Amino acid sequence: MRVNTQNAEFIRSAAKISDCPRDRLPQIAFAGRSNVGKSSVINRILNRKNLARVGSAPGKTTHINYFLIDKKVYLVDLPGYGYAKVSKQERARWGKLIEQWFADTSLMTLGVLIVDLRHKPTADDCVMAQWFKNAGCPFVVVANKHDKIKKSEWAPNLARIRETLELDEDTPVISFSAEKGLGKEELLQVIFDHVTGGEAEAR
Ligand code: GTP
Ligand code: MG
Residue 203 has pLDDT above 50, yes or no: no
3-class SS at 64? strand
What does the pLDDT average to over 14-36? 94
- CB neighbour class for 9 (10 Å; exposed up to 12, middle 13-18, buried from 19): exposed
Residue 89 has pLDDT above 90, yes or no: no
- In one-letter notation, the amino acid at residue 201 is E
Of the candidates 105, 165, 99, the residue with the CA atom closest to the CA atom of residue 135:
105
40 Cα nearest atom in ligand 1: 11
- Give the separation between CA 199 and CA 181, rounded to whole angstroms: 24
- Give the separation between CA 111 and CA 113, rounded to whole angstroms: 6
- Give the separation between CA 67 and CA 57, rounded to whole angstroms: 21
**178 CB within 6 A, ligand 1:** yes
- Residues 113-141: tens digit of each pLDDT: 999 999 999 999 999 999 999 998 999 99
- Give the separation between CA 109 and CA 106, rounded to whole angstroms: 8
Cα 128 to middle of ligand 1, angstroms: 18
CA 143 to chain centre: 11
Q: For residue 17, give the DSSP letter.
A: G
Confidence of residue 201 (pLDDT cuts 50, 70, 90): very low
Strands 64-69 and 8-14: antiparallel
**36 CB within 6 A, ligand 1:** yes
Q: Are 8 and 45 in contact (CB under 8 A)?
A: no
Strands 73-77 and 64-69: antiparallel
- 0.85 cut: is pTM over it? yes
What does the pLDDT average to over 98-111? 93
The residue count for the chain: 203
Of the candidates 33, 73, 48, 43, the residue with the CA atom closest to the CA atom of residue 177:
43
- Residues 39-70: tens digit of each pLDDT: 999 999 999 988 887 655 655 557 899 999 99
56 Cα nearest atom in ligand 1: 12
